[in-house]
Amino acid sequence: MKKNEIEKKLKKIMSIVFTIDESKIDTNTSNQNIEAWDSLKHLSMILAIEDEFNIRFTNKETALINDFKTIVDIIQNNLKPKF
């Protein structure tokens, strides 16, 4: 899956979870600048991402998920074939 496809899907998920317009989400979006980003919404977002991309985050990855760019990187890493 291409990076722009991941970003598009992630923007949609974040828009729904945090009830903000997709146009307000970019590479600088983080838990520091989305007022609605609390622990419950964080968990909801993680579960939605795992469902959408059919992946499972490790505890370490879950702890790192706090901004758009990092989430995209973690999703890409999880989608890579593992040999």
**Per-residue pLDDT tens over the stretch 20-32:** 999 999 999 999 9
Domain containing 22 — which CATH number? 1.10.1200.10
Contact 66, 57 (CB under 8 A): no
What's the domain range around 70?
3-79
> How many domains in the chain?
1
Q: What is the pLDDT of residue 82?
A: 72
Name the token pair of 4: 């722009």
Contact 39, 80 (CB under 8 A): no
Answer yes or no: is pLDDT of 83 > 90: no
Mean pLDDT of 65-81: 95
Answer yes or no: is pLDDT of 77 > 80: yes
Give Cα 9 to chain centroid, integer Å. 9
